[in-house]
A and B are shown apart, each in its own frame.
Chain A
Amino acid sequence: ETGVTQSPTHLIKTRGQQVTLRCSSQSGHNTVSWYQQALGQGPQFIFQYYREEENGRGNFPPRFSGLQFPNYSSELNVNALELDDSALYLCASSPYLNTEAFFGQGTRLTVV
């Protein structure tokens, strides 16, 4: 167990809808990053938050957005869902200057 928890574990949404995924970071960690993992692929970096500010973003459209709260928990929001958004979404936390990222168990999103 890493201490990083994500909710919900599974989610089914309809194309065009909006979804919010949540992540509670490990105690003492002020940096949270989000990854999208398609089936059978490696995770792809979506963005990272440090002390409530986005400080890094991958090649994802603006309909992928996020928040980090004062307690360092985080949300990933996806608007106008597309079928290709179906994937495992992973959250990882780390102390900012530390090297390791510790992952949650992921949220499996299915868009139908």
Chain B
Amino acid sequence: AQTVTQSQPEMSVQEAETVTLSCTYDTSESDYYLFWYKQPPSRQMILVIRQEAYKQQNATENRFSVNFQKAAKSFSLKISDSQLGDAAMYFCAYRSLPGGTSYGKLTFGQGTILTVHP
């Protein structure tokens, strides 16, 4: 079974600064997907960025980028030029490929609460 660990329960950053959220995972599969989701107080889980494990290039989406280290099973999220609207709970998640041991199931970490100070 896969596990996802977020070791930072809370992080804070000043507006316009950069912050990095950490995530490690454990799996015996060689190919899979990794995601970062954002959950603001409105509760809706919003996809921030995704990474396919077979791609060596780190994914980027505007101010959001990841540092994917497959051998170390590490998947951190970097938020540049932080904005007040980035404040939320952030979840790292793992999903098997079709045909994988548990395709369809998202396995989430415990989450990191991000506070952005003006």
Residues on A lying within 8 angstroms of B by beta carbon are 2, 31, 33, 35, 40-45, 48, 50, 55-56, 58, 88, 90, 92, 96-97, 99-106, 108
Please, could you name 21 A-B residue pairs with CB atoms under 8 Å apart, sorted by A?
A2-B44, A33-B105, A33-B106, A42-B109, A42-B110, A43-B45, A43-B91, A45-B106, A48-B104, A55-B104, A88-B43, A92-B106, A97-B98, A99-B33, A100-B47, A101-B47, A101-B106, A103-B46, A104-B44, A105-B43, A105-B44
Q: Identify the closest chain A residue to B35 (Cβ).
A: A100
Interface residues of B in 23-61 (CB under 8 A from A): 33, 35, 37, 42-47, 50, 52
Cβ-defined contact, B110 with A41, below 8 A: yes
Q: Identify the closest chain A residue to B109 (Cβ).
A: A42
Residues on B lying within 8 angstroms of A by beta carbon are 4, 33, 35, 37, 42-47, 50, 52, 91, 95, 98, 102-111
Q: Identify the closest chain A residue to B51 (Cβ).
A: A99
Given contacts A43-B91, A103-B37, 15 further A-B contacts (CB under 8 A): A2-B44, A31-B104, A42-B4, A42-B108, A48-B104, A48-B105, A55-B104, A56-B105, A58-B105, A90-B45, A101-B106, A103-B45, A104-B44, A105-B44, A106-B44
